[in-house]
């Protein structure tokens, strides 16, 4: 197993953290290296309905259990030491819980997870099974709100570290600010063209919020298209922009630098791939998943990535420039 580096690596260590190179004062924040960066980009020739389609393989951003959650955990687990307890919360088939338990264990910590019921699909069932293997006591409760309250209370106990749903806090979003700077460097190096839009799933919103901040810092005019996978009450543009602004404020406060304001016009949420419930499969998404499987041998999940890839295919039909699909789900988690 790949061992994570010690917390707060020195500036001469190659961690792939371009954010810390750009803002050295952020090194005062607790941080641990869990990823192997950068994650690769690739073209998907012949896939889509017009504009070229590319993919950001963020499923390969860590040696095990990669995906978007591990980027956030590099900051969220920064204070965690061997013997500590991490408390987190999510749905029955939460990839966030699976990722948290996996990477907290790499640091010698124990995870306490609380879950709630939701519509399931075959991949979500496998994720739930993997969670139980790691955390036999990760019980499932019927009420999401009550589960959230219990988890927050449990995380207040002395010696515990609480991580909210999806790890979507300004601290967690810093991992995705770095991801944006990483992609900017790949574009500058000629590894892919400047995309018109980046399409990704949106649940708790940490990934898209961090990317919004990062692309403003990089000065790249890229539109972020979030495919909504949860109820509109909790998954919406206002919440995403609010988290992005709080993340930018955190960077400004720690570094003393003035950041460019978030451009709301660069963030768009699409709702047509939701499917009516979190975790509920969408027929069109199953077709999209088969397209990517045939074209590149990449497996998607029905909760997040298959719905987002459906939206990405839709975007290619009207776009004038390339579309980038940001893959947030690591299928290796199901077999490791």
Q: How many domains does the chain have?
A: 2
Q: 76 — alpha (psi -120 to 50), left (phi > 0) or beta?
A: alpha
Question: Are 154 and 62 in the same domain?
Answer: no
pLDDT of residue 12: 39
Where is the domain boundary, 166, 198, 226? Answer: 166
Point out the domain boundary residue: 166, 196, 214: 166
Residues 247 and 319 in one domain: yes
Active site (catalytic) residues:
94
- From 110, 144, 166, the end of a domain falls on 166
Looking at the structure, do residues 191 and 276 belong to the same domain, yes or no?
yes
Is 78 contained in some domain? yes
Let me know whether 187 and 139 are in one domain: no
Provide the 10 A C-beta neighbour count for residue 149.
13
pLDDT at 147: 83
CATH code, 32: 3.40.50.1100
Predicted pLDDT at 236: 97
Question: From CA 137, how far away is CA 336, in angstroms rounded?
Answer: 20
Residue 221 neighbours by CB distance under 10 Å = 11
Q: Residue 114: beta bridge partners?
A: 89
pTM of the model: 0.95
Residue 8 is assigned to a structural domain of this protein: no
d(CA 172, CA 47): 33
Domain encompassing residue 258: 18-68+169-334
Residues 90 and 226 in one domain: no
DSSP H/E element including 104: helix 95-106
Backbone angles phi, psi at 50, to 5 degrees: 170, -80
pLDDT at 58: 98
Q: Note the Cα 6 to chain centre separation in Å.
A: 23
Rounded Cα distance between 125 and 122, Å, is 5
Residues 230 and 81 in one domain: no
Residue 109 lies in a domain: yes
pLDDT of 156 reads 77
Q: How far apart are CA 287 and CA 152, in angstroms?
A: 39
- The total number of residues written for the chain in this structure: 336
How far is Cα 79 from Cα 83, in angstroms, rounded to an integer? 12
What are the 10-residue block averages of pLDDT along the chain, 336 residues in total?
50 72 97 97 94 98 96 98 95 97 97 95 96 94 85 78 96 98 98 98 98 98 98 96 98 97 97 97 95 96 98 97 98 86
What DSSP designation does 121 have? -
- For the chain, the distance separating the N- and C-terminal CA atoms, rounded to the nearest angstrom, is 11
- Residue 331 C-beta-side C-alpha neighbours within 13 Å: 14
The confidence score (pLDDT) of residue 158 equals 76
By DSSP bridging, strand 41-43 and strand 53-57 are antiparallel
Instruction: Extract the tokens encoding 140.
Output: 């499932």
If asked whether residues 101 and 43 sit together in one domain, one would say: no
What local confidence, expressed as pLDDT, does residue 336 receive? Answer: 67
> 307 and 213 in one domain?
yes
Backbone angles phi, psi at 134, to 5 degrees: -80, -35
The span from the CA of 224 to the CA of 245, in Å, is 15
């Amino acid at each position: 197993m790949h061992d994570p580096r010690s917390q707060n690596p020195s500036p001469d260590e190659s961690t792939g953290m371009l954010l810390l190179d750009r803002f050295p004062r952020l090194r005062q924040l607790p941080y641990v290296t869990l990823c192997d960066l950068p994650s690769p980009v690739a073209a998907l020739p012949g896939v889509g309905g017009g504009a070229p389609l590319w993919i950001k393989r963020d499923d390969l951003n860590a040696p095990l259990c990669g995906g978007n959650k591990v980027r956030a955990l590099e900051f969220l687990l920064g204070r965690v030491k061997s013997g500590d307890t991490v408390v987190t919360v999510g749905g029955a088939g939460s990839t966030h819980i699976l990722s948290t338990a996996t990477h907290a264990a790499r640091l010698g910590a124990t995870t306490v997870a609380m879950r709630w019921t939701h519509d399931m699909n075959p991949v979500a069932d496998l994720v739930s099974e993997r969670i139980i293997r790691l955390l036999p006591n990760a019980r499932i409760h019927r009420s999401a709100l009550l589960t959230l309250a219990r988890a927050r209370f449990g995380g207040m106990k002395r010696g515990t570290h609480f991580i909210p749903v999806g790890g979507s806090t300004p601290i967690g979003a810093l991992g995705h600010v770095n991801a944006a700077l990483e992609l900017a460097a790949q574009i500058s190096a000629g590894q892919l063209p400047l995309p018109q839009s980046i399409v990704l799933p949106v649940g708790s919103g940490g990934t898209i919020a961090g990317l919004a901040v990062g692309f403003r810092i990089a000065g790249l005019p890229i539109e972020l298209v979030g495919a909504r996978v949860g109820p509109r009450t909790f998954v919406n543009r206002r919440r995403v922009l609010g988290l992005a602004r709080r993340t930018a404020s955190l960077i400004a406060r720690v570094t003393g630098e003035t950041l460019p304001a978030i451009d709301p016009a660069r963030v768009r949420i699409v709702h047509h791939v939701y499917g009516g419930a979190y975790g509920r499969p969408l027929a069109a998404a199953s077709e999209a998943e088969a397209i990517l499987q045939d074209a590149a041998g990449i497996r998607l999940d029905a909760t997040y990535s298959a719905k987002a890839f459906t939206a990405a295919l839709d975007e290619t039909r009207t776009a004038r420039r390339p579309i980038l699909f940001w893959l947030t789900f690591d299928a290796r988690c199901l077999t490791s």
